[in-house]
Amino acid sequence: MFYVSTPIYYVNDAPHLGHAYTTVAGDVLTRWHRQRGEQVWYLTGTDEHGQKIMRTAEANGVTPQEWSDKLVEEAWKPLWQHLEIANDDFIRTTEKRHTERVQEFVQDLYDKGEIYKGGYEGPYCVGCEEFKTPGDLLEGDLCPIHKRPVEWLREDNYFFKLSEYGERLLEFYEANPDFIQPASARNEVLQFVRTGLQDLSISRSTFDWGIPIPWDDKHVIYVWVDALLNYATAVGYGSDPERFERIWPADVHLVGKDILRFHAVIWPAMLMANGLPLPGKVFANGWLMVGGEKMSKSNLTGISPRQLTEHFGVDAYRYYFLRAIPFGQDGSFSWEDFSARYTSELANDFGNLASRVAAMIGKYFDGELPASAEREEAVAGALAATVAKADRAIGDELDFAGGLGAIFDFVKLVNGYLSEQEPWKVAKDTSEEGRARLATILYTAAESLRAVAVLLNPVMPGTAEKLWASLGAEEHLGALAEQRVAEAGQWGRLPAGARVVKGEILFPRLES
């Protein structure tokens, strides 16, 4: 089973562009693998315990549970639906299926002697829900990520013996060089672990919005230990061994780079301590930036995913961020850049190609796809190479920008082919050879679009579906979702005789 997870998001606020970025990436990755014909499990959810949520709820005069319920149902789930996220499950950390299993997991570590009671004091950032090392702080004792003052916390807590796992972790990274990606993220973690790990405080006793420590109910479990375990509890850890066996472990944990250490250090150490198999990969994506700062609720200046989808449409939204920003690097959002790509790549290169080809087949062949007299080797060869490249980039390397770049280079190539062949001129030649030539040109273009629909389906499912319908492909080849990536590059699948109709415009002109 190809199992992919997103971080579970804090429900202190509504989702913004940064959250949607990771969730869309995971959706494209998993749709791609489904289209390879693999069994796939895509998990997302919400992180609902801890001080941050508790304080937000208090400030709004409701209980943390009421607050979480409201945000999950009114903000998070509806946005994922709106963005066509095809997750297989949605886990909330306040669900019983989670809380009970988390207690069992922690109890198990306690029984194994991995947890002891101790005291700790240090600067704590509630935004990160993390103790900071004094050396990491900015001037004025500000958290380097949230740029807000940290709090001094002194508590008697339970500790996990994380410090004992440094060597084993380094050996594991060594033996699994692809475990942490991209390379910059891997290097950061290696350096961090090499400097030596401290034991991890895994309980809190100064507030109670969390899962009680099973052997000492004056403490609640540290929100990060609780949260990380969602990846296990959601797929049947401790409750459904058969299911757990089938899905576990995750192939890819997608995370933002700010939460890399939790996933690449603490999480594997917890699993080692418990004796569970470790995940295949932790991939850290970069940040969406605004004015040189990590985009966050406070500096969003009012842009929400829905404002962008209203203007550009859902499919263009899903496309834009993955195409414009190399996955793993930071990137800025700007209306100008989005508009420019929309117009040149989506509307002109791709949308116009689809409507021109359908229009010409309508005009010259009454909408019936003609048989091709010969095979255009240059186009067919370019298609096969494109499929191989996109499959490796998107499916294996999570290089969405590279994969989409390859697909759109092919779209450009087909445009170039039409400009060169000038079918509108060939159409004036009514001789048998002229008709045969025209048939070859238009068949070649339509067959190319057939493949493009398959390749773009994971990224822009609505648009790909429209194109599939306009090519009359379903009747002969079946549902678009059933098309396999491996077959996309085989030339000549769309049969002569398919009913081609000029469908609606794929990417309408933007309103100014």
List residues with catalytic annotation. 16, 19, 125, 128, 143, 146, 294, 297
Tell me whether residue 259 or residue 438 sits nearer to ligand MSP (CB atom). Answer: 259
Distance CA 146, CA 280 (A): 30
> Does 234 participate in binding ligand MSP (rule CB under 6 A)?
no
Tell me whether strands 216-221 and 212-213 are parallel, antiparallel or unpaired.
antiparallel
R_g of the chain computed on alpha carbons: 26
Kindly tell me which residue out of 211, 288, 404, 477 binds ligand MSP, with binding defined by CB under 6 A.
288
Total binding residues toward ligand MSP, as defined by CB under 6 A: 21
> Does 319 participate in binding ligand MSP (rule CB under 6 A)?
no
In whole angstroms, how close is the CB of 9 to ligand MSP at the nearest point? Answer: 4
C-beta separation of 185 from 203 below 8 A: no
Task: Give the H/E segment covering residue 43.
Answer: strand 40-47
Q: What are residue 167's phi and psi, to 5 degrees?
A: -60, -45
Buried b (16+ CB within 10 A) or exposed e, 99-137: bebbbebbeebbeeebbeeeebebbbbbbbbbbbeeeeb
Structure tokens at 13: 């606020």
Torsion sign, CA atoms 27, 31, 34, 38: negative
> Does 9 participate in binding ligand MSP (rule CB under 6 A)?
yes
Only one of the segments 31-39, 289-297, 357-365, 366-374 lies at the binding site for ligand MSP (rule: CB under 6 A); that segment is: 289-297
Tell me whether residue 290 or residue 456 sits nearer to ligand MSP (CB atom). Answer: 290
**408 to 437, contacts with ligand MSP by CB under 6 A?**
none
> Does 294 participate in binding ligand MSP (rule CB under 6 A)?
yes
3 state DSSP class of 433: helix
In whole angstroms, how close is the CB of 448 to ligand MSP at the nearest point? Answer: 34
> Does 465 participate in binding ligand MSP (rule CB under 6 A)?
no
Alpha helices in 36-95 (DSSP H): 51-59, 64-71, 77-82
> Does 80 participate in binding ligand MSP (rule CB under 6 A)?
no
Q: Is 128 annotated as a binding residue?
A: yes
With vertex at residue 4, the alpha carbon angle to CA 322 and CA 350, rounded to the nearest 5 degrees, is: 30
3 state DSSP class of 149: strand
Kindly tell me which residue out of 47, 130, 251, 399 binds ligand MSP, with binding defined by CB under 6 A.
47
Kindly tell me which residue out of 162, 227, 438, 498 binds ligand MSP, with binding defined by CB under 6 A.
227
Q: What are residue 232's phi and psi, to 5 degrees?
A: -95, -45
> Does 261 participate in binding ligand MSP (rule CB under 6 A)?
no
> Does 345 participate in binding ligand MSP (rule CB under 6 A)?
no
> Does 323 participate in binding ligand MSP (rule CB under 6 A)?
no
Only one of the segments 150-158, 200-208, 225-233, 417-425 lies at the binding site for ligand MSP (rule: CB under 6 A); that segment is: 225-233
Distance CA 106, CA 371 (A): 66
Tell me whether residue 334 or residue 344 sits nearer to ligand MSP (CB atom). Answer: 334
C-beta separation of 235 from 185 below 8 A: no
Only one of the segments 110-118, 227-235, 274-282, 377-385 lies at the binding site for ligand MSP (rule: CB under 6 A); that segment is: 227-235
C-beta separation of 346 from 319 below 8 A: yes
Only one of the segments 94-102, 104-112, 286-294, 396-404 lies at the binding site for ligand MSP (rule: CB under 6 A); that segment is: 286-294
Name 216's Cβ contacts closer than 8 Å, sequence gap at least 6. Answer: 158, 203
> Does 48 participate in binding ligand MSP (rule CB under 6 A)?
no
Kindly tell me which residue out of 80, 248, 287, 333 binds ligand MSP, with binding defined by CB under 6 A.
287
Q: What are residue 498's phi and psi, to 5 degrees?
A: -60, 140
Distance CA 115, CA 111 (A): 8
Q: Is 143 annotated as a binding residue?
A: yes
In whole angstroms, how close is the CB of 300 to ligand MSP at the nearest point? Answer: 9
Tell me whether residue 10 or residue 110 sits nearer to ligand MSP (CB atom). Answer: 10
Kindly tell me which residue out of 43, 250, 259, 485 binds ligand MSP, with binding defined by CB under 6 A.
259
> Does 19 participate in binding ligand MSP (rule CB under 6 A)?
yes
Q: Is 311 annotated as a binding residue?
A: no
Q: Is 263 annotated as a binding residue?
A: no
> Does 270 participate in binding ligand MSP (rule CB under 6 A)?
no
Distance CA 296, CA 294 (A): 6
Q: Which residues bind ligand MSP (CB under 6 A)?
A: 7-10, 18-19, 21-22, 47, 227-228, 230, 255-256, 258-259, 287-288, 294-296
